[in-house]
Structures are given as structure tokens and as C-alpha cells.
Amino acid sequence: MTLSVMWSEYQRAGMTHLRATTAQNYRQAFRHVEAAFGRWPVAKIEHADVAAWVTALSTVKGPETVRYAHRVFCLVLDYGMRTRRLTNNAARGVRLPRRPPARERILTMAEVEALADRMGSEGDLVRVLAFLGLRWSEAVALRVSDVDLDRRRVRVIERATEAGGRMDVSAPKTRAAVREIGIPGFLVEVLTGRVEGKPRDALVFPSPEGGYLRNGNWRTRSGFNAAVAALGLDVTPHDLRRSFGSLARAAGADLRFIQKAMGHESITTTARIYAHLYDNELDVVAQALGTLREDGQK
């Protein structure tokens, strides 16, 4: 059995539980694997072959692309082991390129407002992403019934993600992602203008045609790309969500609140992403320990 044949079988039997977006990502990633090993009999693939492929692919693709392609490679060979076509997974244990340090692209309150103001009415979505911490897929799936202005709450119960040219609309991936978020007072007016007079099942941020917004189209049509370039910000819509965590922390929120508001399943994820938010406290704690020591010596 060649790897291409096993991949076809894995798609039919091993990917049925995946969301459409994840399945699409797997297919794209496997192209890198198939180009090198598609015609190989699976039993002939050895650890050294995979290691050489990782090295070669790393010269033309970034670390994240290489790591993701390797991950899918491993999953296919794991399937081969489960179905007793293979006795071992030759891709496991291969040394992978390191992830580059995350580039910080977090906006200040003033930068968010400058970006939103520059975009006019389209800036409403910028403010919602930055001040509610929504994922893009969650924001574009919001319906009028999800916005409770009396209680100042937004409910996140659905997501809309583009996959292979189609919109995949489903419940959030994890239980933690289904949540309520408090609406800051200054955002009430923005959301009122977006939901007033609309049916409860209407989208809060529809496309000009009335359907779900698509990220790439919106960035061009709304003037987002032009605005960030003019302001020298170099950010994406997802960076607005990242900015929420920083702004919430500056407002006094602790890590548990940020975790819950952003829908992270584990606080470890929140701590890894936002560890820098506590850098200033290093000096505060150090100074407090010094004061405690001085008081103890009196």
C-alpha cells in the first residue's frame, strides 16, 4: 500500500469527526507530504527518510508549515498502525524546526480607537473584536438574539469559519468557548446601532449581500488593510482579540477572568499567551519583599 492510498483511506475513515476547517487544513498540509512520499510503500518509509524530508522542507517553508505537515504525516502513519499495516510510526521522534518567538502585535487603547475611527462605521467590528475578545469566527456569527443590551452581555454560541470557499457554521470547538462576555458601557451605543430594528435571527455584522463576512474580503472592502498601513500598525483582526487580553489586564482583570472571557479551555493557554502582562509585577513583588525584610529587621 502506498502512502497516497493510505491517505485516501484515512480521509474516509479517520477524518469523519473533524470540522470542515480542520479537515481542509489537513488536506493542504498533506500536499507537502504527498509530494515526497505519495508513491512510497508505507512499509518502506524509514525514520531517516522523514528526517531528511523535514530538513529539505524547512529550507523552503516556515517552521509552522513544516511542523503541521509533519503532524498530519504522523496521524496517517498512526492510522496505519491501528489498522495493522505498520508496526511502527517512522515519523515519530523526528527533530522539528523550532517555532520562532511570537511577534507581539498588541494594540493600546489609543491605537484601537485610532484604527476604528479611521474606518468609520466599519470600525464597529474593530471595537467589538478588541473590547470583547471575540474570535473572528465568533464575531461574524453573532446574531441579534445573542446581544442582551439590558444585561450588557454577549453570548457566544456559534462560529462561522471559511473552509474551502464555503462557510462552516457550527458550535464552538470547546465547552469553554461557549460563554457570556460583559459589554463595556462605551460599547453599548455601538451595538445598539447594529441590532436595533433587526429580527432576532439577523446577523449583527452581515456582509453587503446579507451573509457571513469573509475575513479577506472584509479587510479589503472595509478599509482595514489601508487603515493599518496608514497608521503603521501591522496587525490582523486576530491581533485585536489578542489586544483584549492586554487591555483587560491593564483594567485590573486577573488571569482567570481573561481565560473565561476569551474562551480558553485551559488557563495554561492564557498564561502562555499573556505571560508578558505580568512583567511589571516582577518589580512590584521585588520591592515588596525588600520592604518586608526591612520591617522584619526593625
Contact status, residue 197 vs residue 136, Cβ threshold 8 Å: no
Look at residue 195 and tell me whether its pLDDT is greater than 90: yes
Question: Is the model more confident about 63 or about 256?
Answer: 63
Average pLDDT score over residue span 6-10? 97
C-alpha cell at 23: 479537515
Instruction: Please give the CATH topology (third level) of the domain spanning 109-241.
Output: hpI Integrase; Chain A (1.10.443)
Average pLDDT score over residue span 176-199? 94
Mind giving me the DSSP string for the chain? -BHHHHHHHHHHHHSTTS-HHHHHHHHHHHHHHHHHHTTSBGGG--HHHHHHHHHHHHTTS-HHHHHHHHHHHHHHHHHHHHTTS-SS-TTTT---PPPPPPPP----HHHHHHHHHHTGGGHHHHHHHHHH---HHHHHT-BGGGEETTTTEEEE--EEEEETTEEEEES-SSTTTSEEEEPPHHHHHHHHHHHTTS-TTSBSSB-TTSSB--HHHHHHHTSHHHHHHHHT----HHHHHHHHHHHHHHTT--HHHHHHHHT-S-HHHHHHHSGGGGHHHHHHHHHHHHHHHHHHT-
Query: Mind listing the pLDDT tens digit for each residue in 33-63?
Result: 999 999 999 999 999 999 999 999 999 999 9
Average pLDDT score over residue span 214-223? 95
Q: What is the pLDDT at residue 104? A: 67
- What is the spatial distance between Cα 43 and Cα 162, in angstroms, rounded to a whole number? 36
Query: Mind listing the pLDDT tens digit for each residue in 51-101?
Result: 999 999 999 999 999 999 999 999 999 999 999 999 999 999 999 999 876
Q: What is the pLDDT at residue 248? A: 87
Domain 3-82 class? mainly alpha
Instruction: Mean pLDDT check: name the lowest of 17-26, 42-51, 99-108, 177-186.
Output: 99-108
- What is the spatial distance between Cα 256 and Cα 260, in angstroms, rounded to a whole number? 6
pLDDT grade for 119, boundaries at 50, 70 and 90: very high
pLDDT grade for 280, boundaries at 50, 70 and 90: low
Residue ranges per structural domain of the chain: 3-82, 109-241
Percent of the chain exceeding pLDDT 70 equals 94
The pLDDT mean for the chain works out to 90
Neighbours of 21 (CB within 10 A): 19
pLDDT grade for 283, boundaries at 50, 70 and 90: low
